[in-house]
Amino acid sequence: MANIGSVRRPFHRNSGQAFEPQVYWEGRHRTHHGSLRAVGHRQLSDEANAEQYRIKESRIIGMIRRHVPEPYGKALLDAGCGVGVLIPAYVELGFSVVGVDFSDTAIAQAQAADVSAQFVVSSLARLELGRRFDVITAIDVLLHIVADGEWADTLSSLSCHLKPGGVLIILDRFADHAEGWSSHCKPRPKDRYAATFADLGLQIVEHEQFSLEHEDALKDLFAVRHVTSEEPEGT
C-alpha cells in the first residue's frame, strides 16, 4: 500500500473547538469497521445505507456513461474512496481504477475487498500521483472538507490530475438548499464552486439533483470539464 503523505490541518470554529478531519475519519472507520456507517449515514442500518448507495451508484454511473461512452481501458481516480464501495461498479465498466483516501483503515479495507484496483493513502489536497486520469470521481467528499483553504487546494489538486478532455464527477450538497451542518460538514453554494472552477480553467457542464429517503436535503451531482472554445459554459 502506497503512502505519499497526509497533513492534518485543524479547522477552528467560533466555539474555539478544533476539528481535525483525519482524526475524525480515522476514528469513524475504526469504530464502524466493516459497516457502511463508516462512510454512509451513521443513523441508518447497513441495509438502508446499501439502498442509498445503490441509488447514488445508478445516478453516478449514468452520468459517467454520458460523458465517457467507451470507458474500457480508461483511467479513473476515485478521490476520497473510503472503503471503496463504488469501485466494483467502476471496474465493471472497464476502467483502470486508483482509489485514494487519507484513512489508512479505510484503504486497508478497500484493498482487502477489491484487488483489481490500486490504492494510495494520501490527502487529496497534497496528492501527487505523477499521472492524469480520464475520469475523477469525488463522491460525498468535498462537503466534508471544512477548511476553505483545504477545499480550494483539493479542487486545484484534482484539476491537475485530470486529463485534457477528461471529466470530474462530483456528488455533493450545495449550500443553496442546505441549512446547518455538523462539525464534519460544510456545504458551499454553487456559485462558489463555479467561481473556483473558472479560476482553474474548468466549468460545470451538467448538473442534476435528486433526493434520498433518509436525507434532509437534495443531493447535487455534477460533471466538470476543462473550458474549451467549442463548449459553452454549463449551468
DSSP letters spanning 76-144: EEEET-TTTTTHHHHHHHT-EEEEEES-HHHHHHHHHH-TTSEEEE--GGG---SS-EEEEEEES-GGG
For 177-203, give one letter per residue: b (16+ CB within 10 A) or e.
ebeeeeeeebbbebebbbebbeebebb
| Global confidence as pTM | 0.83
Residues with Cβ within 8 Å of 143's Cβ and at least 6 positions away in sequence, in order, are: 172, 173, 181, 185, 186, 187, 188
Render pLDDT for 158-192 as a digit per residue (tens, 0 to 9).
Answer: 999 999 999 999 999 998 765 555 677 899 999 99
Domain spans in the chain, listed from the N-terminal domain onward = 36-226
- The larger pLDDT score, comparing residue 15 to residue 107, is at 107
Identify the DSSP state of 42: T
pLDDT at residue 39, rounded to an integer: 55
- The larger pLDDT score, comparing residue 86 to residue 2, is at 86
pLDDT at residue 13, rounded to an integer: 37
Instruction: Give the integer Cα–Cα distance in Å for 96 and 116.
Output: 8
The percent of residues above 70 in pLDDT, for the chain, comes to 72
Render pLDDT for 73-112 as a digit per residue (tens, 0 to 9).
Answer: 999 999 999 889 899 999 999 999 999 999 988 899 899 8
pLDDT at residue 14, rounded to an integer: 38
pLDDT at residue 181, rounded to an integer: 57
CATH number attached to the domain at 36-226: 3.40.50.150
Contact 25, 141 (CB under 8 A): no
Render pLDDT for 37-55 as a digit per residue (tens, 0 to 9).
Answer: 555 566 566 576 667 868 8
pLDDT at residue 175, rounded to an integer: 83
Residue 119's nearest CA partner among 106, 132, 131 is: 106
Render pLDDT for 187-214 as a digit per residue (tens, 0 to 9).
Answer: 999 999 999 999 999 999 999 999 887 7
